[in-house]
Structure formats: structure tokens, C-alpha cells
Chain A
Amino acid sequence: GAGVSQSPSNKVTEKGKDVELRCDPISGHTALYWYRQSLGQGLEFLIYFQGNSAPDKSGLPSDRFSAERTGGSVSTLTIQRTQQEDSAVYLCASSLELAGGFWTDTQYFGPGTRLTVL
């Protein structure tokens, strides 16, 4: 079946501009995550949506970063007034998370959006 998709695959922008990155999770997956991967680094958690619960925004690095998830499916990560240090690959993942489940469910990743801020 279709996996997690992200668009655009690459985005080049100028410092100070706003950008929007899109994630389409696997159909039926209730949980959605955004991560950031800087060059040669591990994955840094940004934000987590689970069903209708309030999102966990504890990983967002500044108030320039925000994300929303409409209709429990597609998510958009917005970075306002981009800075050069925002340059990274932004990865989205989704999982089939059962409400009240004890075990963490497998996360499936999209191909990422490579953001370059000039």
C-alpha cells in the first residue's frame, strides 16, 4: 500500500521567508510525527499528533515553528521567518496508535523534505 508521502521533496528559500511543508500519512494511521535531521545528525523530535488529542509540541525549537493536522490526516509544518540554521531535512512519520495503548507502535517514515535557507 501507499506509504507516507511528503512534499515538496526539496525547498530552497531565502532567509526571512515563510515555508510550508506537507505530510500525507498512511491511510488509517492516527498518530503523526515531525522530526528534523540536520546534516550528519540523528533525528530530532519536533511535534506529535495523536487522534483528537492536543498535540505534543515539546520539541519545537522556537515559536517560528508550528504545525497543524487537518481532519486527522494531512499535516502541515510551517516555519516563519526562516533562518539559515533551519536548513535540514524535515521528516514525517505516522503510526497506527491505539488509544490508551501501552506499547509504542511502529513509526513509518516518509522520504523527507530537504530545506535549504540561503
Chain B
Amino acid sequence: GENVEQHPSTLSVQEGDSAVIKCTYSDSASNYFPWYKQELGKGPQLIIDIRSNVGEKKDQRIAVTLNKTAKHFSLHITETQPEDSAVYFCAASIGNQGGKLIFGQGTELSVKP
């Protein structure tokens, strides 16, 4: 079945450094790839998403890259701040019909001041 693998499961960086989280997906028909940030006790919040017709998207300190050939996509956070500490989830749409998403297992990011 469809699968999304996310790495690493935990990531610790110093404030100001960059953080990179990587995901691979199995369904070649996937066309939508969102990233969510989840803080303790809260629901996931969308931070950035990318569709399969582009290879890169940037929003201030956050960027996402997509390699359709290799079926992987990555989240890049630059100039990390302590408030970036949270669990980050990647997801991929299942096929290109309907709205179902399959999620990675999450990355716990810790930014040390």
C-alpha cells in the first residue's frame, strides 16, 4: 500500500542553525505534499505545502523541495528559533483523486537556545 517514510525521528539543533527533514513517498500519482507542525496538546498546523507542478517553494525561513523522479521531498528551516521546537509531519496525497493524505511518522525538532 501507499507509504510515507520520514527521517530523522528526532533532530536537535542550536538556535540559528538550519534544520532539514526528509520524506519519501511510494505513490507516483501523489500530487500534493503538505508539512504540518504540531505543538504539544494541539492539532497539526499547516506550515507550507507544495504541489507536483513545482520543484521548490519558500515562505520566509521555511522552504520545501520536491523531487518527483526520486519521490522525495524535504523541509528546510533556516535560522531556527526555540519556538520552532515541535513535532513536524510530512504527508502525501493518495493518488490524484480526492483528499486523502498519508502521513509520515513525525520528526521531533528541538532548538536549543
Q: Which residues of A contact B49 (CB under 8 A)?
A: 106
Interface string of A1-43 (1 = CB under 8 A from B): 0001000000000000000000000000001010100001111
Q: Which one of B44, B51, B99, B102 contacts A95 once the chains associate, using CB atoms below 8 Å?
A: B99
Residue of B nearest to A97 (CB): B99
Chain B, 19-46, CB within 8 A of any chain A CB: 31-32, 34, 36, 41-46
State whether the Cβ of B74 lies closer than 8 Å to any Cβ in chain A: no
Among A50, A103, A111: residue with most chain B CB under 10 A: A103
Closest chain A residue, CB of each to CB of B46? A106
8 A Cβ contacts from A79-115 to B: 91, 95, 97, 102-112
B113 within 8 A of A: no
Number of chain B interface residues as a range: 20 to 34
Contacts of B106 in A (CB 8 A): 40-42
Q: Is residue B86 contacting chain A, with contact meaning CB distance below 8 A?
A: no
Question: Taking the complex as formed, is A48 at the interface, i.e. its CB lies under 8 A from any CB of chain B?
Answer: yes
Interchain nearest-CB distance for A45 vs B (Å): 6
Cβ–Cβ contact A42 & B99, under 8 A: no
CB-CB under 8 A from A110, the residues of chain B are: 43
Q: Which residues of A contact B51 (CB under 8 A)?
A: 103
Q: In the bound complex, how far is the Cα of B3 from the Cα of A45, in angstroms?
A: 12
Q: Hey, which bits of chain B sit against chain A, CB under 8 A?
A: 6, 31-32, 34, 36, 41-46, 49, 51, 89, 91, 93, 96, 98-106
Q: Which 9 A-B pairs have the closest CB atoms?
A: A109-B43, A104-B32, A104-B93, A43-B103, A42-B103, A42-B105, A111-B43, A109-B44, A31-B99
